[in-house]
Amino acid sequence: MSLIRMLADFLSLKKGMIFVYVLNTVLLLFLSYVFYDVDDIMYPLLVSSFILFIYLVIAGAGYFKVYVKLQDCKSSPQIELDESKVLDKLLFGKINEIHEQYNTRIYELKSSVKERNTLFSQWIHNMKGSVSIIDLASEQGSQQAMEDIQEENGKLMANLEECLNMLRLDDFSRDYLPERVNLHRVATRAINARKKDFIYQGVYPKVEIDEALFVYTDEKWCGYMLEQVLSNAVKYSRREGLVTVRSEMKGDRVLLTVQDNGIGICLEELPRVFDPFFTGRNGREDRSATGIGLYMVKYIAQRLGHGVSMESHKGAGSMFTISFLAKM
């Protein structure tokens, strides 16, 4: 910005004060002339003008300093404050807060993008492996090759479905409707959605939830979380096993547990069950495992304000718990 433009902006900023000062000076000179017969107005006029000039110089210097600091705000993440000046503390203190908030947000976005890129890179790698196996199997044309193709095709479909679910999370904030939800209804619908899994695995569901129990959550996303947990419970249950979904009041919280009597998880693997793509020993034996389901459950639960935890013992089954705020 040119000096002339800066001066014009400064005078425009101070025009109200200059007008009042000039009006006050003229009024005082007029009253002095009328009531006190003061004929010499040049001296007080010069003194008044000099005082105005000194004020404008000092104020202009302050305006210039503020202007320079404002220009620095464009590139500097933090502006040094002059604690002795109220304007500095009010204006630049708030600008520093805004800078800090935006820097935090930018860091979170970068971390999210980096994590997302890692996830999709892993998915692409997984699917490339399936495509390679299908390609080799198709050249053989044997019965075993067709079974391999069918198995790998199932893995491709599972990976693609998980990709779609991850992309849907981008719309989470626009697709989140917290409301009073009947927990028994949500659990029943989730079990019905996984009915084929229960039938194919020969596992039986059991619901022990009060039909009059309500919680504060988003019904669609809560149902999605339960489906993921139930899918894991069924997958690692023994044939003719039982998956129990029950509720329990604990203070102002409602604990929803999904318990199975399946193969369980090693104690040393428990802290990592919510990590993306972690499948553990059980997942390595089940080639359809993607290691993304529980990661997404925790991701959604955190944004819904729910707590999630898991207990398990090798050979004695697992118990997954979701903690809700009761809404009575």
What is the pLDDT confidence band of residue 183, given thresholds at 50, 70 and 90? very high
Same domain, 70 and 200: no
> Considering the chain, what is the average pLDDT of its residues?
79
Res 186: pLDDT: 94
Q: Mean pLDDT over residues 287-305, rounded?
A: 79
Q: Three-class SS of residue 292? A: coil
> 246: Cβ–Cβ under 8 A, 6 or more apart, which residues?
207, 208, 209, 256, 257, 259
| Cα within 13 Å of Cα(105), Cβ side | 6
For residues 45 and 29, give the distance between their C-alpha atoms in angstroms, rounded to a whole number. 8
| Residues 71 and 184 grouped into a single domain | no
What would the mean pLDDT of 44-63 be, rounded to a whole number?
84
Render pLDDT for 98-155 as a digit per residue (tens, 0 to 9): 777 877 888 877 777 777 766 676 666 666 666 666 766 666 666 776 777 776 776 6
Interval 201-218: pLDDT, tens: 889 999 999 988 999 898
Domain hosting residue 231, numbered range: 177-325
% of the chain beyond a pLDDT of 90: 16
Residue 15 within a domain: yes
Task: Give the domain CATH number at 212.
Answer: 3.30.565.10
Kindly state the average pLDDT of the residues 261-267. 85
25's tokens? 């000076």
Distance CA 28, CA 227 (A): 84
Q: Is residue 301 part of a domain?
A: yes
pLDDT digits (tens, 9 = 90+) for 63-87: 787 777 777 776 666 666 666 666 6
Asked, for residue 118, whether it belongs to a domain, the answer is: no
In this predicted structure, the answer to whether residue 243 has a pLDDT above a threshold of 80 is: yes
Residue 83 lies in a domain: no
Q: Looking at residues 36-49, what average pLDDT do you find?
A: 76
Say how many domains are in the chain: 2
How far apart CA 318 and CA 126 sit, in angstroms, is 27
* Torsion over CA: 35, 37, 39, 43 (sign): negative
Which of 45, 75, 105 is where one domain is finished? 75
Q: Are residues 307 and 184 part of one domain? A: yes
Residues 50, 189 within the same domain? no
177 vs 239: which has the higher pLDDT: 239
Q: Are residues 66 and 189 in the same domain?
A: no
Same domain for 185 and 45: no
Name the least confident of 173-177, 207-211, 276-280: 173-177
pLDDT grade for 182, boundaries at 50, 70 and 90: very high
136 lies in some domain: no
Task: Centre a 10 Å sphere on the Cβ of residue 326 and count the other Cβ atoms it contains.
Answer: 15
> Could you identify the residue written with the tokens 């090759």?
145
Contact 69, 91 (CB under 8 A): no
Q: Which of 44, 75, 106 is the last residue of a domain?
A: 75
Residue 58's pLDDT is: 86
> What pTM value is reported for the model?
0.56
227 or 85: which leads in pLDDT: 227
CA–CA distances in Å: residue 54 to residues 51, 80, 97: 5, 27, 35
Domain boundary among the residues 75, 102, 133 is at 75
In a domain, 96, yes or no: no
Measured at the CA of 165, the angle between CA 323 and CA 201, to 5 degrees, comes to 75
Please state, for a pLDDT cut of 70, what percent of the chain lies above it: 73
**275 part of a folded domain:** yes
d(CA 276, CA 273): 8
Find out whether 210 and 247 touch, Cβ atoms under 8 Å. yes
Residues 182 and 320 in one domain: yes
**Is 114 among the domain residues?**
no
